[in-house]
A and B are shown apart, each in its own frame.
Chain A
Amino acid sequence: MSTTVEERDRVVIRFAGDSGDGMQLTGDRFTNATALVGNDLATLPDFPAEIRAPAGTVHGVSAFQIQFASTDITTPGDHADVLVAMNPAALRADLDKTVGGGTVIINDDAFTPRNIEKAGYAADPTTDGTLDGYQVYRVPMTSITVRAVEDLGLTKKEAERAKNMFALGLVSWMFGRPTDVTLRWLERKFHEGTAVFEANVAAFEAGYHFGETTELFAHQVVVKAAPAAAGTYRNVAGAQALAWGLLAASERSGLPLFYASYPITPASDLLHELSKHKNFGVITVQAEDEIAAANVALGAAFTGRLAVTGTSGPGLDLKAETIGLAVITELPMLIIDVMRAGPSTGMPTKTEQSDLLTAMYGRHGESPIPVIASSTPGDCFEVAFEAASVAVRYRTPVMVLSDSFLQSSSEPWPLPDLTTLPPIDPTFATGGDEPFMPYARDERLARPWAVPGTAGLEHRIGGLEREDGTGDISYEAANHERMTHLRQAKVDGIARELPGVEVDDPDGGAAVLVLGWGSTAGSIQAAARRVRDAGRSVAIAHLRWLNPFPANLGDVLSRYPKVLIPEMNTGQLALLVRARFLVGATSYSQVQGQPLFADDLQRAIEGMLDAGS
């Protein structure tokens, strides 16, 4: 049989199934093979908070979406070109996330009357017209998998469990992915020769050969490698990159890394990653609660460690008082907040950007702290490093904002040249003849970092207001006012060393500036590209530091008649920008627990351009 080969610039695939079907693993493996082909890619794991929701129900559906391309891409795609639905619930949950006319591959064996009913369908969606307009492939994945592994002596349940590898094999053939990468991984994951290893290999190969030999799949799609700068690459997820950025900051500062955290979704990935690397001298403490985690880290900061605590959502509320203590004691410390959809417990596994105002102002009294946000999975590395550098040199807690999407999403990442990372000089105080002044200040307004064990520098710090210079307790009115302004001026002064915000405005003089921050960077770039491809002008700019703002931000905003601020919240950056610069910025808001959709944003930009013309 002959197959035709179609070449495409980019493809979005969504693997969807039960939480226990191994969809995250399938997506992850497909991603790795795709990275090694040299495609640019972006991924979106999208799973429920329940570990194993009742099988076959819509709320138990776990999905993994990947966009890969022969060109530079910035998002995991708004809608899938190909949906792999392992059961009716997956089809029901994700069909509307698939483009009209797209390809739907279903595991036919799972479409039993009982499963169809469990998914909440009134009638069989494969025959009632639901799938009209889609290109549907019905593949009995479970039964072929069971047949492929029948000689291995597995139970029926064990055999059926390998069906995700069948799906992976099938899709790998459809998109010309190399098989050796996956086979090598299976060898590493399961011991060669065991029945589980053999079953996974057999299922994977069965899927691949099914694509190759059946007439169902008459054509293969090829997505060529994307052009990329020379260098060595790997695929990296945000949580990994953030953890590695901390390791790099530890190495370049000479300060051993000390990470204290309490388990919470999705920030736990950081604790898991760092606890693997004790041979880097890393100490990880799983504290008794969120408050303890922050205080344990602050205690470690006092002794001269690179101290970090990480959390998400509700945990940030609990750490607020301790962050205030870090502000007044002026000790270096990082607080990593992996934002998730709220309020309260909210949607723990879904993404949002709704903690910006909490990061800025979520403490009693005037307690300013620098705030930095990462924009892509790979960017988490640099953001962690930069945050550590500022914290250490300015003696201040720094808030690092990431989000649920960035944590689990991955992208190709050029391995950094470690020699180009700047050193971070902690300059510990040493004893001299003069009386020690714990609250004297250097040119950055940073106070001395005098760690216990240093002779002659014994001193007391704490949450009570300090006297400028001596650090003694002071209730004096003028001193409190001076200290309040000093703490603010120290944070504001960081702007002096930050690069200005860069504006991407290829035509010059666009009527609309789209200003973003955090993980919406990819969607904003994609939306702007589409607007420009349609022949119109739009400028975009992205903030890395939210506090302080880059020094040139006011100038940039004043150059554009209209400013649009897209956020996965109800307009928190917009509020800050309007308040600070008295400009009429328009908020574009999406709070669905999903990354910002580029096509919706594209329409919003176009609408704004239309309104102005």
Chain B
Amino acid sequence: MPGPDAGEDVVTLTKKDFTSSQEVRWCPGCGDYAILAAVQGFMPELGIEPKDTVFVSGIGCSGRFTYYMDTYGFHGIHGRAPAIATGVATANPALHVWVVTGDGDALSIGGNHLIHALRRNVNIKILMFNNQIYGLTKGQYSPTSEEGKVTKSTPFGSVDRPFNPLGLALGAGATFVARTVDNDRQHFTEVLRQAAAHPGTAFVEIYQNCNVFNDGAFDALRDKSQGVHNQIRLVDGQPIVFDEGTRCVRVGENGRLEIAAVDETDPASIVTHDVHGRPSLAFALAHVSNAPIEPTCIGVFREVQRLTYGDAVHAQVAAATERLGPGSLAGLFAAGDTWTVGAEGTAP
């Protein structure tokens, strides 16, 4: 099975090693450009060669991402990238497998594969570009669009309630859950770094601006002057304080998390972030805001370690081989009742 060669000379990789010759064809001004640049810029840091890296994507604007990475790539069908990636990562655990998907791809048509990849803890890193709209099909509301969204398919406003993607991932038992913003290169790269280091499924929601069909959806967080007031940056082990130290997330009535002014808050009730703790904290933090138009948490919400699916599968094969001995076809066929017919052609 091909994979990274042990004892190989350390090669110095650059962004160029991960950049394919394909012309990038997203709309000018799309948030995807920043994401692509950040990912290509980050990959060399991992020290994993392009030959051992696989990007798998689904359908939608995000789906084109694979073509721009000079690694192995599989641009699949709508919603199925987590399933294809499960096959890749389980068949060959030596590979580093990334899934690039969008809110429609991951949460609508592919919702089932997403939750089951998370449940199994397949060793894949999922980057979900959330722009709260269907872009490639020219602007219908998505499963993360706000209620009342007016689009081509909802001229009178959408009546659907949106998903909270992180809440969904946590509910599915995700071992790594994070959120970042497309235009914050530094924060984005730090989240990628932690996701890449996580053994198992890493789920990263990226707020991504679609400047054609849903421009400004995340301005409260992306715009510098607003973001400074609204980004609640989670740091493991630190009290959750934001808005230049003036506001915090504290434990309110019935254990509910709420946003309050620091100078009106007992320091003991300010929440201290804990990525390894109970999922209920991460879940509550994911729901501090109703939508990214108000103070919203970004960063790593949860990181816990659990056996990966691929390791469990291969351990079972190894254990069965140890217990039963390597399989022999002749032995298998002859096990049980057999009879022999002699040369004269009659049975026993």
Instruction: Give the docked Cα–Cα distance between A462 and B336 (Å).
Output: 46
Q: Does B50 have its Cβ within 8 Å of any Cβ on chain A?
A: yes
Q: Does A418 have its Cβ within 8 Å of any Cβ on chain B?
A: yes
In the complex, per-residue mask of B76-96: 1 if CB is within 8 Å of any chain A CB, else 0? 110010011111111110110
| 8 Å CB interface, B287-318 against A | 313-314, 316-317
Instruction: Give the docked Cα–Cα distance between A295 and B20 (Å).
Output: 25
Residue from A235, A287, A462 within 8 A of B74 (CB atoms): A462
Chain A residues, Cβ within 8 Å of B337: 32, 35-36, 181, 234-235
Partner-contacting stretch, out of A6-14, A96-104, A452-460, A521-529: A452-460
Chain A residues, Cβ within 8 Å of B77: 295, 321-322, 324-325, 463
Are the C-beta atoms of B326 and A279 separated by less than 8 Å? yes
Q: Does A300 have its Cβ within 8 Å of any Cβ on chain B?
A: yes
Q: Does A608 have its Cβ within 8 Å of any Cβ on chain B?
A: no
Q: Does B243 have its Cβ within 8 Å of any Cβ on chain A?
A: no
Query: When A303-B92, A460-B67 are in contact, do A292 and B341 touch as well, CB less than 8 Å?
Result: no
| 8 Å CB interface, B64-82 against A | 66-67, 69-77, 80
Residue from B66, B70, B324 within 8 A of A462 (CB atoms): B66
Chain A residues, Cβ within 8 Å of B314: 283
Chain B interface size band reads: 35 or more
Q: Does B15 have its Cβ within 8 Å of any Cβ on chain A?
A: no
CB of B133 to closest CB in A, whole Å: 22
Residue from A283, A285, A418, A460 within 8 A of B317 (CB atoms): A283
Are the C-beta atoms of B74 and A299 separated by less than 8 Å? yes
Are the C-beta atoms of A292 and B113 separated by less than 8 Å? yes
Partner-contacting stretch, out of B193-201, B254-262, B327-335: B327-335
Chain B residues, Cβ within 8 Å of A300: 87-88, 90-91
Instruction: Give the docked Cα–Cα distance between A256 and B347 (Å).
Output: 37
Are the C-beta atoms of A278 and B112 separated by less than 8 Å? no
CB of A270 to closest CB in B, whole Å: 15
Chain A residues, Cβ within 8 Å of B333: 234, 244, 415-416
Greatest chain A CB density within 10 A among B3, B56, B87, B323 is at B87
Chain B residues, Cβ within 8 Å of A256: 1, 91
Are the C-beta atoms of B85 and A247 separated by less than 8 Å? no
**Which A residue's beta carbon lies closest to that of B327?**
A280
Are the C-beta atoms of B52 and A285 separated by less than 8 Å? no
Chain A residues, Cβ within 8 Å of B155: none
**Which B residue's beta carbon lies closest to that of A226?**
B347
Greatest chain B CB density within 10 A among A37, A285, A324, A416 is at A285
| 8 Å CB interface, A436-453 against B | 451-453
Q: Does B7 have its Cβ within 8 Å of any Cβ on chain A?
A: no
Interface SS of B by simple majority:
mixed
**Which A residue's beta carbon lies closest to that of B340?**
A232
CB of B346 to closest CB in A, whole Å: 6
Instruction: Give the docked Cα–Cα distance between A307 and B71 (Å).
Output: 22
Q: Does A117 have its Cβ within 8 Å of any Cβ on chain B?
A: no
Are the C-beta atoms of A37 and B347 separated by less than 8 Å? yes
Q: Does A38 have its Cβ within 8 Å of any Cβ on chain B?
A: yes
CB of A360 to closest CB in B, whole Å: 21
Chain B residues, Cβ within 8 Å of A244: 329, 332-333
CB of A120 to closest CB in B, whole Å: 40
CB of B83 to closest CB in A, whole Å: 4
CB of A135 to closest CB in B, whole Å: 29
Query: When A260-B87, A283-B90, A459-B73 are in contact, do A233 and B317 touch as well, CB less than 8 Å?
Result: no
Number of interface residues of A (CB under 8 A): 74
Q: Does A561 have its Cβ within 8 Å of any Cβ on chain B?
A: no
Chain A residues, Cβ within 8 Å of B91: 256, 258, 283, 299-300, 303-305, 307
Chain A residues, Cβ within 8 Å of B342: 230
Residue from A281, A329, A415 within 8 A of B327 (CB atoms): A281
Residue from B51, B90, B116, B317 within 8 A of A278 (CB atoms): B317
Q: Does A288 have its Cβ within 8 Å of any Cβ on chain B?
A: yes
Q: Does B345 have its Cβ within 8 Å of any Cβ on chain A?
A: yes
Are the C-beta atoms of A296 and B345 separated by less than 8 Å? no
| 8 Å CB interface, B1-57 against A | 1-4, 20, 22, 49-54, 56-57
Chain A residues, Cβ within 8 Å of B51: 452-458
Are the C-beta atoms of B75 and A460 separated by less than 8 Å? yes
**Which A residue's beta carbon lies closest to that of B20?**
A460
Are the C-beta atoms of A453 and B95 separated by less than 8 Å? yes
CB of B90 to closest CB in A, whole Å: 7
CB of B89 to closest CB in A, whole Å: 8
| 8 Å CB interface, A348-392 against B | none
Q: Does A298 have its Cβ within 8 Å of any Cβ on chain B?
A: yes
CB of A53 to closest CB in B, whole Å: 31
Q: Does A147 have its Cβ within 8 Å of any Cβ on chain B?
A: no
Chain B residues, Cβ within 8 Å of A453: 1-4, 51-52, 92, 94-95
Are the C-beta atoms of A418 and B3 separated by less than 8 Å? no
Query: When A278-B316, A451-B2 are in contact, do A288 and B84 touch as well, CB less than 8 Å?
Result: no
Query: When A244-B329, A278-B317, A281-B327 are in contact, do A225 and B346 touch as well, CB less than 8 Å?
Result: yes
Q: Does A228 have its Cβ within 8 Å of any Cβ on chain B?
A: yes
Q: Does B212 have its Cβ within 8 Å of any Cβ on chain A?
A: no
In the complex, per-residue mask of A488-528: 1 if CB is within 8 Å of any chain B CB, else 0? 00000000000000000000000000000000000000000
CB of B212 to closest CB in A, whole Å: 21
Greatest chain A CB density within 10 A among B3, B339, B343 is at B339
> A: which residues have CB within 8 A of B?
32, 35-39, 181, 225-235, 244, 247-248, 251, 256, 258, 260, 277-283, 285, 287-289, 291-292, 295-305, 307, 321-322, 324-325, 329, 415-416, 418, 451-464, 472-473
Knowing that A278-B317, A452-B52 touch, tell me 20 more A-B residue pairs with CB under 8 angstroms: A36-B339, A229-B341, A229-B345, A232-B338, A233-B340, A234-B339, A235-B337, A244-B332, A277-B332, A279-B321, A280-B327, A288-B113, A299-B87, A300-B91, A418-B329, A452-B72, A455-B51, A460-B66, A462-B74, A464-B75
Q: Top 7 closest A-B pairs, CB basis? A: A38-B347, A299-B87, A462-B75, A453-B2, A280-B327, A460-B73, A225-B347
Task: List 30 A-B pairs, Cβ < 8 Å.
Answer: A38-B346, A225-B347, A227-B346, A228-B341, A228-B347, A231-B341, A232-B339, A234-B334, A248-B329, A260-B87, A278-B317, A281-B317, A283-B90, A283-B91, A288-B83, A289-B112, A292-B86, A296-B83, A301-B87, A302-B84, A303-B88, A304-B1, A324-B77, A418-B329, A453-B3, A453-B92, A458-B73, A460-B20, A462-B67, A463-B76
